[in-house]
Structure 1
Amino acid sequence: MSERITTINPATEEEIDHFDLISDGDAEAAIQRCHDAFVLWSQRPAEERAEIIGSIGETLAKNKEALATKMTEEVGKLIGDSRDEVDLCAAICKFTAENGPEQLKEEERPLFANEGRGVVAHRPIGVIYGIQPWNFPSYQVIRYSIANLMAGNGVLLKHASNCTGTGIMLRHLYEEAGLPEDLFSVLVIDHDQSNKVIDNDLVRGVTLTGSDAAGHKIGERAGAALKKTVLELGSNDAYLVLDDADLDVAVKTSVQGRLYNNAQTCINAKRFIATEAVYDEFLERFVEAMKAVKVGDPMDEDSELGPMARGDLRDKLIGQMEESVEKGARIETGGKKLDRTGFYFEPTILSGVAPGMPAYEDEFFGPVASVIKAVDDVDAVRIANESRYGLGGGIFSRDEERAKRIAIDHFDTGMVFINSFGLADPNMPFGGVKDSGYGREHGGFGMKEFTNAKAVFLGA
């Protein structure tokens, strides 16, 4: 295995930077330093921790253009999407700083089988190891690290290799904002070294955002050491176009939901399940809208879709698409690489998608949409829930109240968007079910995932 990481600009295929892997000994020393920093940090009042987290958010906002540019250079995000990502990161810091002390405060409870009274205290547990992907190079890091820092834990990061520079920039910005040195540490390591980090006795929890295949491996490794995990994995999110859908809203939102972040988001809309009553019109209008999307340089403010993050990811997507076509799916539009430098792929729609095809069963992490016909609304829900995944999804219907009841009572996912497409919100839980993982982030939930809910009994 190479002893060096090289980052590549996916829009130009040119090298950006080089990063040497650290040794096993250096990794162990970094974990020890993070633990030592945690011991001091955990004893600071929550209000003091919140003040520094608020400062991190302000520092991110002040450095928005530099951070956004770095993300676009490393993973090909549209520059506007990168700026939006920094804004979301700053909002997460602000929410956490304002709400963290209240979320974590001690709670008195009456006792029912004992005399006296009880106190529940959420205490930090130690060093938390985060293994993070490339598609949101700043947000993925902010999401788990800020919650855990608020809780009083120390944080380690193994970032995806192709956005190593963003991870290192974030560490500098955290410390510039006043976070104690070594409390947030970036480990430039390979997969074998990562397993040793999980095994290290000073690491008390592991959180992964990645594929379900990676989730199985990380969950098994951490579980063998009796370490808690939070796993936010892939998905094949279904958006239901019901009989009474407003097709203007459905088509516009479906394009946005499929292509946002260059179509490389775990909660992108991926499967579009339309009932017979609206299927033909929806498909026709969806195809026309996807044909009109402007593909271009991610630094160009007018571009609507940039390149995929890596060439191997584009090759995988093409393989999944071609296998689906061999099994009977039809390409309605797109389906080809663009004849230009960079890892570009046309916005693509597949129809005739059926069970047994990758387009039906698996996650497509790129600009390919799968359109599926359902008999009626009930059948559409059935098809949506057939997936082994369960992260997000959506419903298009003019009857918002009915759609809400379907979402709450029948949709087997962690999140549902009604007549809209959206990403994370700091005040709403984020996470999935089934092969999309377990555990929750945001909404106050993430601050408590890696805490010890300690019960203290006070005598009468």
Structure 2
Amino acid sequence: MALKSINPFTGKVIKTYPEYSDKKIESIIRATQSDWIRLKETSFKQRSVWMHNIAKSLYKEKYDLANLMVSEIGKPAADAVAEIEKCASVCEYYANNAEQFLEDEFIETEAQKSYISFQPIGIVLAIMPWNFPFWQVFRFVAPALMAGNAGILKHASNTTGCALAIERIVKQSGFPENCFNAIVISSSKLDKTIENPLIKAITLTGSTNAGKKVAALAGSLVKKTVLELGGSDPYIVLKDADIEMAAETCVNSRLINNGQSCIAAKRFIVEKDIAKEFIRLFKSKMEARKFGNPSNPQFHLGTMAREDLRDDLHKQVLASINQGAKCILGGYIPKEKGAFYPPTILTHVKKGNTAYQEEIFGPVAAIIIAKDEKEAIDIANDTSFGLGGALFTKNIKKGEKLAKEKLQAGSCFVNSFVKSDPRLPFGGINESGYGRELGVYGIKEFVNIKTVYIK
């Protein structure tokens, strides 16, 4: 079997990659284990030098790497460059802070000395998606390697070029050559890889269904998992909000990465007193965002990553309309060649509607009207997901209280769109997953939190 990278703008095959054999995968895992034994004995100072080398390579090659994303998934060029720069920043962050994060923590007990030590556990398997093909990987690579772990990457089939580019950059940084490897396999070979006794833990970013399957297998083997899964992030616009700012921020969040982001705004819950004005502004700003050749900076949106994903999105839109939603913008498959889908707005979205309860992974906004603040919060929490959420209000004290105490999600933002930041833990609850990436909590997910007691 071979894996293909297909340009979603031109429809042409970029490259075909032969799938690795079971024998080759086993050999790679053994080599990774061997170099992990070397890596875990190195100092934080040495790892920091190597991690800074990775950051330097990313900055140096950012335009070439960005073009790779443009061709493999149709990401707009400016967004792709920004993604590479963000990857470099997370490498620098952990290079500078990992040693402090993993310092021994002394606890006073009746012992002469008692403390907590954070030790690497071995090879972590990373199962990564296509939508942010560099960022999703580097937010794992940077803390994992700085903690002294090794990594195996199973990337999405359509971003194999990105996977191999990441492997090359890590290998040329100075880290032991095989402490990080990409394996070119289809999902059908994942089970055997997870079952390999040298794989000690798994981190997955992807769909809820994929996460459930991996977690079930890993759990049967008593292997730890961290899951960052789907989301249907609610953005609440209260009647005392700065409506102009809220509309602009909501559009930016809904259309980030062509709408293909787990933490993009999905459901817009607006108090009825301001609904008419918000919808007017929101529609005007959505209309202004044009789609076209992702290499051309004049276009805000590129293609979706694959035509089948575009077609599935359109089916969700049509289903929502059949269930009573009204489409006031977009909602069609363009005549232009390529996996395009226009900015789309659905209004009159109600409970039970596809756009209300499912994750809509593309540039489609679902607007839901709430009679008051309490109903808005209830609607926001009426979901099986729990990745992120945002609310807009001029009353900062009230906004903070609602974000902290009422909104049920892993990340809650006030007067801003939800985003990941190397300094802050990131992850979800419920069917959006468990565990955390980034920040001090992210680097501690895959270490042995060891108690040392000396009497």
Is the TM value for this pair above 0.5?
yes
Tell me the CA shift for residue 115 of structure 1.
3.0
Residue 23 (structure 1) aligns with: 21
Measured in 1, the distance between the counterparts of 2:94 and 2:240 equals 39
Q: Secondary structure of the residue that 2:235 maps to in structure 1?
A: strand
Measured in 2, the distance between the counterparts of 1:420 and 1:120 equals 37
Q: Secondary structure of the residue that 1:165 maps to in structure 2?
A: helix
User: After superposition, where does 1:149-160 map in structure 2 within 5 Å?
Assistant: 149-160=145-156
Measured in 2, the distance between the counterparts of 1:50 and 1:35 equals 21
Residue 329 (structure 1) aligns with: 325
Give the one of 45, 52, 55 matched to 1:54.
52
Deviations 1:396-425 (A, max 9, x none): 111122111110111100112221124211
Measured in 1, the distance between the counterparts of 2:316 and 2:290 equals 24
Measured in 2, the distance between the counterparts of 1:448 and 1:51 equals 21
Measured in 2, the distance between the counterparts of 1:211 and 1:416 equals 21
Mapped contact 1:392–1:416 kept (Cα < 8 A): yes
Measured in 2, the distance between the counterparts of 1:109 and 1:47 equals 26
Measured in 2, the distance between the counterparts of 1:378 and 1:403 equals 13
Per mean C-alpha deviation after superposition, the further-off stretch among 281-290 and 97-106 is 281-290
Q: Secondary structure of the residue that 1:50 maps to in structure 2?
A: helix
Residue 221 (structure 1) aligns with: 217
Q: Secondary structure of the residue that 2:52 maps to in structure 1?
A: helix
Give the one of 163, 172, 185 matched to 1:189.
185
Measured in 2, the distance between the counterparts of 1:109 and 1:455 equals 10
Give the one of 145, 167, 183 matched to 1:171.
167
Q: Secondary structure of the residue that 1:416 maps to in structure 2?
A: strand
Mapped contact 2:122–2:199 kept (Cα < 8 A): yes
Per mean C-alpha deviation after superposition, the further-off stretch among 227-236 and 334-343 is 334-343
Mapped contact 2:389–2:413 kept (Cα < 8 A): yes
Residue 41 (structure 2) aligns with: 43
RMSD (Å), alpha carbons: 0.9
Task: Find out whether 1:144 has 2:140 as its counterpart.
Answer: yes
Which letter does structure 2 place at the counterpart of 1:191?
A: S
Mapped contact 2:411–2:418 kept (Cα < 8 A): no
Tell me the CA shift for residue 242 of structure 1.
0.3
Measured in 2, the distance between the counterparts of 1:334 and 1:192 equals 36
User: After superposition, where does 1:83-98 map in structure 2 within 5 Å?
Assistant: 83-98=81-96
Residue 359 (structure 1) aligns with: 355
Q: Secondary structure of the residue that 2:444 maps to in structure 1?
A: helix
User: After superposition, where does 1:38-437 map in structure 2 within 5 Å?
Assistant: 38-111=36-109, 114-437=110-433
Tell me the CA shift for residue 117 of structure 1.
2.1
Q: Secondary structure of the residue that 1:123 maps to in structure 2?
A: strand
Measured in 1, the distance between the counterparts of 2:27 and 2:188 equals 17
Measured in 2, the distance between the counterparts of 1:115 and 1:236 equals 49
Measured in 2, the distance between the counterparts of 1:406 and 1:120 equals 35
Mapped contact 1:389–1:434 kept (Cα < 8 A): yes
What is the identity percentage for the equivalent residue pairs of Structure 1 and Structure 2? Answer: 40
Q: Secondary structure of the residue that 1:129 maps to in structure 2?
A: strand
Which letter does structure 2 place at the counterpart of 1:180?
A: P
Measured in 2, the distance between the counterparts of 1:167 and 1:221 equals 24
Which letter does structure 1 place at the counterpart of 2:91?
A: C
Q: Secondary structure of the residue that 1:102 maps to in structure 2?
A: helix
Normalising to structure 2: TM-score of the pair? 0.99
Measured in 1, the distance between the counterparts of 2:152 and 2:434 equals 20
Mapped contact 2:3–2:186 kept (Cα < 8 A): no
Normalising to structure 1: TM-score of the pair? 0.98
Measured in 1, the distance between the counterparts of 2:408 and 2:129 equals 25
Tell me the CA shift for residue 216 of structure 1.
0.6
Which letter does structure 2 place at the counterpart of 1:98?
A: N
Mapped contact 2:67–2:80 kept (Cα < 8 A): yes
Mapped contact 2:389–2:418 kept (Cα < 8 A): no
Unaligned runs of 5+ in 2: none
Measured in 1, the distance between the counterparts of 2:313 and 2:412 equals 25
Measured in 1, the distance between the counterparts of 2:188 and 2:222 equals 20
Unaligned runs of 5+ in 1: none
Tell me the CA shift for residue 458 of structure 1.
1.1
Per mean C-alpha deviation after superposition, the further-off stretch among 230-239 and 323-332 is 323-332
Measured in 2, the distance between the counterparts of 1:211 and 1:191 equals 13
Which letter does structure 2 place at the counterpart of 1:187?
A: I
Measured in 2, the distance between the counterparts of 1:58 and 1:396 equals 38
Task: Find out whether 1:455 has 2:451 as its counterpart.
Answer: yes
Measured in 1, the distance between the counterparts of 2:149 and 2:344 equals 44
Task: Find out whether 1:8 has 2:6 as its counterpart.
Answer: yes
Q: Secondary structure of the residue that 1:344 maps to in structure 2?
A: coil
Q: Secondary structure of the residue that 2:439 maps to in structure 1?
A: coil
Mapped contact 1:148–1:446 kept (Cα < 8 A): no
Tell me the CA shift for residue 218 of structure 1.
0.6
Measured in 2, the distance between the counterparts of 1:52 and 1:447 equals 17
Per mean C-alpha deviation after superposition, the further-off stretch among 282-291 and 93-102 is 282-291
Which letter does structure 1 place at the counterpart of 2:157?
A: S
Tell me the CA shift for residue 291 of structure 1.
1.5
Q: Secondary structure of the residue that 1:373 maps to in structure 2?
A: strand
Measured in 1, the distance between the counterparts of 2:170 and 2:287 equals 42
Tell me the CA shift for residue 79 of structure 1.
0.4
Measured in 1, the distance between the counterparts of 2:64 and 2:397 equals 43
Aligned residues: 455
Tell me the CA shift for residue 457 of structure 1.
0.5
Deviations 1:164-187 (A, max 9, x none): 001101111112221221111001
Measured in 1, the distance between the counterparts of 2:176 and 2:54 equals 12
